[in-house]
Amino acid sequence: MPQGKKVKAQKVARVFWVDRLKKLGALVIIAFIYIWSARGVGFSLLEIIRELPSFFSLLGEMIPPNWAYSRRLIAPLVETIQIAILGSFFGAILTIPLTLLAANNVTRNKYIYFFAKGLMNIFRTIPELLYAAILVAGIGLGAFSGMLAITIFSTVVIAKLTSESLEAISYGPLEALQAVGGNKLQMIRYAVVPQILPAYTSYSLYVFEINIRVSTVLGLVGAGGIGVPLQTSLNLFRYQNASMIILVTFILVMAIDYASTKLREVLV
């Protein structure tokens, strides 16, 4: 074999084995992380198998659901929907200025931009259930605290998604308006809004779907909604009532998901 071809073959073989070793090393690291996590949480397949009879016994106590109890769920179910609607609405409104400040192609001042990004990232690190617990402690029990928690959660999530979409819009309309002397507000109104509105609408509806699910568990910390009777039923070992609540919640979430999907098809 000529010397040049031999050297080239050695380089190809070296690259091949280096690539294989990198993949093997990555798999070893991933496996170590999974094993470390399993040991940390006390994961045991034998424990799962051992507790299966107790689990099925609990399911047996939940079946059949207490159908008569469904009449008492109308008010908390309506409250859950109201929490999600208002929280999503106010969150979508508050998102607008935060989105503009957190997009580097709209906000040229780097200090304002990084402040808005940092504020958004800080608030996104706190789960909505913790917001609800803090607000319940500060404001009091009830749906109002839950609605405020949903509002904060909705604002930062929609702002995060929309600001990233805003940074990816086409610069052509912006440059055209700037060339004819358009000011900042005109550029936002005629060049930015038409491009970002479909994404903003889609994200708002998506977050509303999430909020329906989230608002069902806010009652576990006293923030109103259908989670309150669920917590009470579980504490009193009234599992048939609890299964009725879970069934009603499942139907509600499925209905909202379907309606939101159809609405998104119309609006987006």
Lowest mean pLDDT, pick from 44-53, 72-81, 150-159, 256-265: 256-265
Considering the domain architecture, whether residues 159 and 27 belong to the same structural domain is answered as no
- Check pLDDT > 60 for residue 3: no
Considering the domain architecture, whether residues 157 and 30 belong to the same structural domain is answered as no
Considering the domain architecture, whether residues 215 and 160 belong to the same structural domain is answered as yes
- For residue 255, the enclosing domain spans 66-267
- Whether 59 maps to a domain, the answer reads no
Q: pLDDT (tens digit, 9 = 90+) per residue, 99-147? A: 888 877 777 778 888 888 888 888 888 888 888 888 888 887 788 888 8
- pLDDT for residue 4: 57
- pLDDT for residue 72: 86
Considering the domain architecture, whether residues 85 and 19 belong to the same structural domain is answered as no
- Whether 45 maps to a domain, the answer reads yes
- pLDDT for residue 29: 92
Q: How confident is residue 207, by pLDDT bands cut at 50, 70 and 90?
A: confident
The residue ranking higher by pLDDT, 64 or 175, is: 64
pTM above 0.95, yes or no: no
| CATH number of the domain to which 124 belongs | 1.10.3720.10
- pLDDT for residue 235: 84
- pLDDT for residue 258: 82
- Whether 58 maps to a domain, the answer reads no
Considering the domain architecture, whether residues 167 and 238 belong to the same structural domain is answered as yes
DSSP letters spanning the chain: --HHHHHHHHHHHHHHHHHHHHHHHHHHHHHHHHHHHHHHHT--HHHHHHHHHHHHHHHHHH-S--GGGGGGGHHHHHHHHHHHHHHHHHHHHHHHHHHHHT-TTT---HHHHHHHHHHHHHHHTS-HHHHHHHHHHHT-SSHHHHHHHHHHHHHHHHHHHHHHHHTTS-SHHHHHHHHTT--HHHHIIIIIHHHHHHHHHHHHHHHHHHHHHHHTTGGGGT--STHHHHHHHHHTT-HHHHHHHHHHHHHHHHHHHHHHHHHHHHH-
- pLDDT for residue 241: 87
Considering the domain architecture, whether residues 47 and 13 belong to the same structural domain is answered as yes
Considering the domain architecture, whether residues 103 and 211 belong to the same structural domain is answered as yes
Q: pLDDT (tens digit, 9 = 90+) per residue, 25-69? A: 888 999 999 888 888 888 878 888 888 888 888 888 888 888 888
Q: pLDDT (tens digit, 9 = 90+) per residue, 66-78? A: 888 888 888 888 8
